[in-house]
Structure 1
């Protein structure tokens, strides 16, 4: 077997796994699928076998494709196995094999090279959805069941989408905001692809929270997709190019923080340094970038500039983003902010570490498996009898809305991003 293949698969890293099994109870797919090959240690063993020529890439494909990439296994691993690097290496090798299929390659090239990195495409998606919602087409489509004919269970996800802002509101957003001088901190805001396209209002609320905390907020115009979807699909080279573009976009103004409000995006950006060889210029630039990357909850707690004045008399639970918790290592800050809201009762989940099944586009390409995982999560949620589920990632937000719909509880429970809940509580500067 070629040394290049071994290097791509992270063969040397597989020896850190001692097959102890500590990862098994932490792995959602092992719990729902009950197969050794669908556990972290099983996948690592398969990677090792492929690298040694004892198994084929085709043998590896299905177990790797079924992995959520939630990184829960890394939080319990006693030998600190670099599962993320092994996982992405396997994805890269599988992607190279699949690229031999020309029709699939053409479709993937459009989405990964043109669609997700393009702010124009993202704005167009948001504007098209606004037209669909505001023109009455959505009501007609639902009345006659037209969306049910769409592929990939699109009708279920469409029902979970929030109301879109008008194209004018998107266009009117400036690239720089400040309320007082001197500002307590200078923040570069990473808007994200899906967040800015589908959850524009949540981005606006994020900015408003930062402003009320005393920060100056800047939207670097040259920023692009974080590259998470590309990396998790094996398109490592494209992911590296996107990382470079973001590093350049954010390094010019000397920001105190580079803030995101999407757990998956933040998890990718906080690992940009791992994309470049140690000692190179790009590695040094990536390290400076990474040192400033923060989730919105971290910054709000650190700045401590808000007091919440409106009582919210209801019970909520918190569904943490896997990548926020397991990769960014942010656990307490969202809970601390939720507890600051007067009148609000927080009931924590029994298994907050268990993935909701969103995982980027996992719930689209592996729908049935994602729903099995979601059912486990919803059992935990329903046991708390909340009026709301607070999340910290767009994929989690849509997935929880879908879970609530599947349980027939849309009139009793809502799903909301943390920043939207905080704004509802009418924060004021201290």
Structure 2
């Protein structure tokens, strides 16, 4: 008879022991400045560590300058390392582990800010990049693969306990997986095995770079949420290949496309007016006129990714992390009974950074998150729950973040 794990008990993920099975999911913070860590970014993650999570995830740390989605985003430069070390030390001081989400944004990259065209497997028009992407050459593929290895090594040097490699949301690795975006005819296009080649090579490079020094997670799409995209029937064999390759310690399952259907992951309301307000013209006008064609609303329900995730859960033995609509002790326990090793929380913790600590004190503690998704546009000015009074938040500088950490 199998015993259901206690979500609040310590658990191992690769070489790391977490104090519980609850992970603060990656949500881009918007709190770095000129690609360097700020005090606000440190305080943001300290709040979740102090609030009781087993591990918090720093998002999104691009593996190279041209892989950024924002001009202020941290990438693994020499100048960023001291600040990243200060961040990991501060989280460890609160008793939690800390992971760095690493990846290359590909067609989701900010081409203008990066000073180079956005990369994708095939030429594709990207509204985010505001132009046509550049098809990745074999040299680009080698360069970006090695950049992932370098990022993983630097993460270990900076004191991170884990890296989460981004294979979702139609960032570069995910766009290679997508039959809609990937129209290549070489060894990286066509069959699923070929389309998965880049993701598998990236994961192999990361494993070879750090061995068993830190945990290696992969964030894998189950469904792009667009016609002709990557879907569950292909996600299952990709998950099995990653398991066979021995490159992954745990798998976090996700969905949606930041490029083509960003609201598909989140479910709940689509905040059209709030998104329009944070963009300059003419993007603002475009969102006002046609935002509903791009930012769709989907009904919210607890554990909304579970139905698809359990199909991958049945196909692999890898420890798996359930994301999506995990908000309270009841949904955490559902995940444990379904055979997931960990849960990941995002919006509920943005509303209440200390929610895990309060759940530990009282299992009946409800989440106050209403899934309005108005937190999403705030990642341009400092990610937060807009329903919380700014004078009471624990990571309180909005707009230009406060102070480099060196």
TM-score of the superposition, structure 2-length normalised? 0.30
User: Counting helix residues as a fraction of each chain, which structure ranks higher?
Assistant: 1
Q: Which has the higher contact order (CA 8 A, sep 6+)?
A: 2
User: Counting strand residues as a fraction of each chain, which structure ranks higher?
Assistant: 2
